Amino acid sequence: MDIIAKLRDVSLDELHPNERLKVESHYLYGTLEESLADRATGAVNEADTQLTKFHGFYQQDDRDVRDDRRHRKLEPLYSFMVRLRLPGGRVSPEQWLTLDDNARRYANGTLRITTRQTFQYHGVFKENLRGHLQALDKSMMDTIAACGDVNRNVICTANPHRSAVHRQIYDLAHEISTRLLPSTRAYHEIFLGEERVAGGPQETDDEVEPLYTRHYLPRKFKVALAIPPENDVDVFAHDVGFIADVQAGELKGFNVCIGGGMGMTHGETATFPRLSDIVGYCTPDRAAAVSEAIMLVQRDNGNRYDRKQARLKYTVEALGVEGFRERVEEYLGESLAPPIELPLTHNGDRLGWYQGEDDLWHYGLFVQNGRLADVDGGPQLLSGMREIAKAHDGDIVLTTNQNLIITQVPEARREAIDTLLADYAMTFETTPLRRHAMACVAFPTCGLAMAESERYLPSLIDRLEAIMQDVGLGDDAIVVRMTGCPNGCARPYLAEIGFVGKTLGRYNLYLGGGFAGERLNKLYRENIDEATILEELTPLIQRYAAEREAGEAFGDFVVRAGVIAPTLAGREFHTH
């Protein structure tokens, strides 16, 4: 299809306002230079708040002080959340020191590992944006396309140094990221100071963006690669998923999945989370091309009228799985092979010491909700990791479960790493319940948050741990996830126990997700406070301890016991 001809037949006035904004942005330049130069406000122009996302950062304000500043007749305390494009989540020790320096110099003194295997910073003021991005650039890092209506950070099963196949998957994540990267030079010219080509791109010159065109995508686009039996990336939760077929240590190909996505809107049943469908199989050399073909089908068929229906998952629902696959094969110029059976057993991380194929050691470090900070009287994760980066020769790798891995440690260096971990109180004892818990940022910075998440979940886990201990389940894992709003950044709809914020102190409680990320959960109780959460969960956990079958996960138990109906398809998420 010719998207340009197709969209020129439609008035921009008929489409969502963001579509006009993209087309008229001059390939994402907008008025960003003027916005950055305006020192009368900490904000950027309203239209530019949408364009900054394509460059990797969101405008936010500190909601903890919003009312006080309003009473004092001050504008909100604006700053930016800045997110890196870091396919596969790997950084060198030298890059880590730059990341740490930027956190202390330009942000709020913390680093946060996201559920998309990258870092984001909070509290970056407008006057610090250029310095922040330029420091990253000098260390061969950037934030291009970490947000916006483009392909986002490509994620994969963690640690490329674990085996030859892991390295292949990591390299493929980079290949896909590079292939689907926007071509506009706006980021380089506005933020990095590169000289602008005379005249710049013309509004009708669609060769500037051969993949995206000046229209870009209807909504964000996400790709994940998993290596069975591990599903640490929650491969079914993304627009595109690749499940590796590994035989005798050799990568043979991938099952291809399409149509996953987590976000929805409270009270609007036409919106729902959805798990992707396995539609075929491809060889490793074709995976990047398959990613591109899927993205182009979405580019040309996605809903540009209603952004709540614009994700690829709704395009799959509209075209049908077979219809979407057929269009992919048209763009690809070949058919996908039939998929094969590739079981996935869990979606957690390896923590502690383990060896790779090359006999070097790797240490998986638990980072509660991904926040690297120095806590008074507690863990000194930020400073501890800085000292480890100074002493370490191998890489540091992030996981999609918000943890990190200190990689490539020779036997002779293990004791030195252990000493630093102990000196900075980084190896505090945790339960399987806490290690399988995950939260989004929410308050005070996320403008979409309706309830607390990152700041609240640890204390709720304390209470759930006590219940688990009382019934003899202290050594058992249940996947618990919490978000402050229904957008689903921590993938709560895959959790065995999911919490989604409704308003301050109150959450929707979801039950019945699969332990390996293979089944959605379903609403169990709506708009409840902590006391009610504990009243509801205590007897269920007690029943689970008494009635579960051997090896049965909590999510499977509540479905088998008839506590909650299984969600077999996204469109059934809201049915009872």
Q: Is the pLDDT of residue 497 over 50?
A: yes
Q: Is the pLDDT of residue 4 over 50?
A: no
Interacting residues of 333 by C-beta distance below 8 A, sequence separation 6+ = none
Q: Is the pLDDT of residue 204 over 60?
A: no
Residue 1's pLDDT band, with cuts at 50, 70 and 90, is very low
What percentage of the chain has pLDDT greater than the value 70? 97
Helices (runs of H) and strands (runs of E) counted in the chain: 18, 20
pLDDT of residue 291: 98
Q: Is the pLDDT of residue 108 over 70?
A: yes
pTM of the model as a whole: 0.95
Dist. CA 30–CA 50, nearest whole Å: 10
DSSP 3-state helix, strand, coil percentages of the chain (rounded to 5)?
35, 20, 45
**C-alpha 106 chain-centroid distance:** 23
Residue 485 in marked binding region? yes
Dist. CA 261–CA 174, nearest whole Å: 22
Rg of the chain on CA atoms, in Å: 23
Dist. CA 362–CA 161, nearest whole Å: 9
pLDDT of residue 11: 84
Query: Catalytic residues, which ones?
Result: 83, 152, 220, 222, 440, 446, 485, 489
Specify the DSSP class assigned to residue 374.
B
Residue 206's pLDDT band, with cuts at 50, 70 and 90, is low
Query: What are the Cα distances from residue 452, in Å, to 177, 444, 484?
Result: 32, 8, 5
Q: Is the pLDDT of residue 428 over 90?
A: no
Q: Where are the beta strands (DSSP E) in 26-159?
A: 57-61, 78-83, 90-91, 111-113, 119-124, 155-156
pLDDT per position as a tens digit, 556-574: 999 999 999 999 999 999 9
Residue 489 in marked binding region? yes
Residue 238's pLDDT band, with cuts at 50, 70 and 90, is very high
Over residues 344-353, the mean pLDDT reads: 94
Residue 257 in marked binding region? no
Over residues 485-504, the mean pLDDT reads: 97
> Which secondary-structure segment (H or E) carries 63?
none
CB atoms inside a 10 Å sphere around CB 2: 9
Interacting residues of 422 by C-beta distance below 8 A, sequence separation 6+ = none
Chain-wide mean pLDDT for the chain?
95
Nearest alpha-carbon partner for 399 in 364, 433, 424, 434: 364
Find out whether 506 and 527 touch, Cβ atoms under 8 Å.
yes
pLDDT per position as a tens digit, 125-150: 999 999 999 999 999 999 999 999 99
pLDDT of residue 393: 94
pLDDT per position as a tens digit, 23-66: 999 999 999 999 999 999 999 999 999 999 999 999 999 999 99
pLDDT per position as a tens digit, 354-370: 999 999 999 999 999 99
